[in-house]
Amino acid sequence: MKLQLNGEPLDTPPVTLADLLDAQGFGGAKIATAVNGSFVPATARAARILNDGDQIEVLAPMQGG
């Protein structure tokens, strides 16, 4: 199925959000996630099954004013 991860297209077999993050190298990172514009807490990632066309945002601490 096709997803968008931080705006980039990604082709993957059906997965949960937690699996996708592990596969993409985010394991153990301090990040926050949203799917289709809605916040998904860390505790809910393992149960969040991703669907074709989902847009996933993975955000991390960054400089700001």
Partner 1 sequence: MRDFYGTSLSGGLMLGTAQYPSPAILADAFRRSGAGVATVSLRRESGQDRAGQDFWQMIRDLGVHVLPNTAGCHSVKEAVTTAHMAREVFDTKWIKLEVIGEEDTLQPDVFGLVEAARILSEDGFQVFPYTTEDLVVADRLLQAGCEVLMPWGAPIGSGLGLNNIFGLRAMRAHFPDVPLVIDAGLGLPSQAARAMELGFDAVLLNTAVAKAGDPAMMAEAFATAIRAGRLAFAADPMEPRDMAAPSTPVIGKAFLQ
Question: What are the residues binding partner 1 (CB under 8 A)?
Answer: 6-7, 21, 24-26, 29-34, 37-39, 41-42, 57-65
Q: At 42, phi and psi to the nearest 5?
A: -55, -40
Three-class SS state of 25? coil
Write down the least CB distance from residue 33 to partner 1, Å.
8
For partner 1, give the closer residue by CB, 18 or 21: 21
Write down the least CB distance from residue 16 to partner 1, Å.
16
- Residue 59: closest CA among 27, 16, 25, 30: 30
